[in-house]
Chain A
Amino acid sequence: AQKVTQAQTEISVVEKEDVTLDCVYETRDTTYYLFWYKQPPSGELVFLIRRNSFDEQNEISGRYSWNFQKSTSSFNFTITASQVVDSAVYFCALSGMDSNYQLIWGAGTKLIIKP
């Protein structure tokens, strides 16, 4: 069965600090996809990244970076120089044949950036 674990329920940091959100997954699939979504208080789920299981290259997009490590089944998300606008709930999700390609969601991490 597939499972996504986001062990950090809530993280609070001061603006400009770097912060890493952890995501650990379980799957029997050899081909699968990992996602990160941001959900600000307004409610919309904003797509951040999709990574397939064959691409272990780390990705950087502005202040955001993702570290995918198959050896530890982790797909961690780092925000560099955090800003108040980064405050949101962040969800990690997994999709593959084992889940009939439905998104398997982690519980989410609430990130609070204090000014």
Chain B
Amino acid sequence: DTEVTQTPKHLVMGMTNKKSLKCEQHMGHRAMYWYKQKAKKPPELMFVYSYEKLSINESVPSRFSPECPNSSLLNLHLHALQPEDSALYLCASSQVYRGNYGYTFGSGTRLTVV
């Protein structure tokens, strides 16, 4: 199983809603990542989890709250988002953090905030 699975694929939410994005991998990878990608731009790193612990938070607003319940799952909890948060949210994993191994990406969640 060499996949990273993200759900949902599409999400429309109001600015007062609370929603969660989910990411799952069963490759035994111990590093997992959240990226945000705006149209026609490369991905921007948001969070890094290494061995289920948060290693990097790239100054992301607190309305985005990551969670890593176990080594296979990564969640991104969303609350009180702004329209400018509309983007493609990508999850990725790698064997280890800082290992310079290839990153496996999911197909992303297209988020629209209305």
List residues of chain A with CB under 8 Å of any chain B CB: 33, 35, 37, 42-47, 50, 52, 91, 93, 95-96, 100-103, 105-108
Contact = CB atoms under 8 A, between A and B. Distances in A.
Interface residues of B, number: 22
Nearest to B92: A45
Which of A45, A95, A100, A105 has the most chain B CB atoms inside 10 A of its CB?
A: A45
Interface of B: 40-43, 45, 56, 88, 90, 92, 97-108, 110
A108 B44 CA distance: 13
A108 B42 contact: yes
Contacts of B41: 107-108
B43 A101 contact: no
Contacts, number: 50
Contacts of A37: 105
Contacts of B92: 45
B103 A47 contact: yes
B100 A52 contact: yes
Given A44-B105, A50-B102, 19 more contacts: A35-B102, A42-B107, A44-B108, A45-B90, A45-B103, A45-B105, A47-B104, A50-B101, A52-B100, A100-B98, A101-B98, A101-B99, A103-B43, A103-B45, A103-B103, A106-B42, A107-B41, A107-B42, A108-B40
A45 B43 contact: yes
Given A43-B107, A44-B106, A91 B42 contact: yes
